[in-house]
Structure 1
């Protein structure tokens, strides 16, 4: 699909007469972050579900690794552009981490396109902005970044898969066994599908987030639901609570045994009913 001068891979599930949910993945991920079975459960609940690869992700337009030719506001325009291309007037936005930042800005800058917000693993004002009143990343994650393994040979599939699995481990909940076999199978799908895996795993973290917008969150007027992992090492749970507190009427839901990760399967029985209820209107 051509959107704003770039090619974005988009998948559209369910009955077009049902309320539309737009899934916006996080930095370094692709639309595969939204598990097929998770999508099926939402569709079975009477929702039209749209997921897409952002720039540099999956099968969408990729830029040279280390030189993204876009910023966060371009990703916001892309989310709206996907809705335009599909003829969707308003959608329920579901964003994870950087995708949550995109969703916040769509709600602020394009409120007429936003039916509701669901924000996961996020922070007030989005990644890339400092919130001195909120706790920083965990000591373990700080140690991981200070001792991070060198980049793999991007042409070596097995090395890239191992690198991807290893980079996910520190973000997972410490109280839950790390499902290495499942993560490896998922990583293989991600690597095999990526147009440029080096760009996918680097460029989204380098983009300019623009001006902070935490002070604008009180202007969001759509229903908001905030999920946050109780063991998130990147944005400790206080970030999620603060985000919910600053959006009028927002509901906060803590996910036990969850780190900085897209809704784990163990949490679907909590997340899916809450999300269906939230998007019913």
Structure 2
């Protein structure tokens, strides 16, 4: 079921619901550049555990209206505020949060900004907050991500030019060629994982992300580079960090830093797994999330 939730500033937020109507809410934050699409792997694992998936497209992606300040001052914490709007519209209170890749910071934002509602959160293969990190976030990334974040650090014009060059290959991806579209960002373990439903979903979410051109992608990158609007060092909600050692999109060092700086974190470091292959562990990830949330 797809709906469009009105935000107080007049924007519309695209939301996909799946699973039992009376299931405990699980908010899913997609990666960058992606948007909310049906995801059999996530939805099946969630339904088997009695969870109702609330997936949403961030501003500028899919059918979600771009923020007026997305390119200038929007923060990661603003995305948690949008989650609260969605939950209020649906009449939902407490929830669990899972974020993957670019969605990882948004999941951490839910834990930080909505501590009275977010029972526990997962940051899966997620970026560190650059304003708090004591290194260069690009160290260890594949060449495409190094180029992307270098352009983002240079400013909107430079980032726009680079993303307009990248966009045609990414936004037109099919299941058959999605691995090639990732270039050096997909090591052998991730290329091997990009088959069946997983390849179909990733290609679909790339295509859906481009419904408004590069708007969401552009704003996502710049938002993640700014101060996030909260400190991960002050999170009091249970958080699990999941990371594969072979990840070329978000370096393993990011997960090590998050594990060292988020209070009480539950760190899961998967030897031999990549950025994409680790997603196949979603049943285990959800079991762990329910455990740390005190829901089983």
Q: Fold conserved (TM > 0.5)?
A: yes
Instruction: State the distance in 2 between where 1:122 and 1:170 align.
Output: 18
Counterpart secondary structure, 1:222? coil
The residue correspondences of 1:193-232 to structure 2 (distance < 5 A) are 193=208, 194-207=210-223, 209-211=225-227, 216-232=231-247
Any unmatched runs of 5+ in structure 1? none
The residue correspondences of 1:116-127 to structure 2 (distance < 5 A) are 116-124=120-128, 126=129
* Residue 98 (structure 1) aligned to one of 94, 98, 102: 102
Deviation at 1:164, TM superposition (A): 6.3
| Counterpart in the other structure of 2:143 | 142
| Counterpart in the other structure of 2:131 | 129
Q: Is the 8 A contact 1:75 1:102 kept in 2?
A: yes
Deviation at 1:18, TM superposition (A): 2.9
Instruction: State the distance in 2 between where 1:133 and 1:145 align.
Output: 14
* Residue 251 (structure 1) aligned to one of 263, 266, 283: 266
Q: Is the 8 A contact 2:111 2:235 kept in 1?
A: yes
The residue correspondences of 1:1-281 to structure 2 (distance < 5 A) are 1-4=5-8, 5-32=10-37, 35-62=39-66, 67=71, 70-124=74-128, 126=129, 128-129=130-131, 131-133=133-135, 136-138=138-140, 141-142=142-143, 145-146=146-147, 151=165, 160-161=172-173, 165-178=179-192, 185-186=200-201, 188-190=203-205, 193=208, 194-207=210-223, 209-211=225-227, 216-261=231-276, 263-265=278-280, 267-279=281-293, 281=295
Any unmatched runs of 5+ in structure 2? 149-161
Q: Which has the higher helix share?
A: 2
Deviation at 1:122, TM superposition (A): 2.0
With over 3 angstroms needed to count, the CA separation of the structure-2 counterparts of 1:278 and 1:122, relative to structure 1, is: same
Q: Is the 8 A contact 1:258 1:264 kept in 2?
A: no
With over 3 angstroms needed to count, the CA separation of the structure-2 counterparts of 1:49 and 1:99, relative to structure 1, is: same
Deviation at 1:191, TM superposition (A): 5.5
Paired positions, count:
272
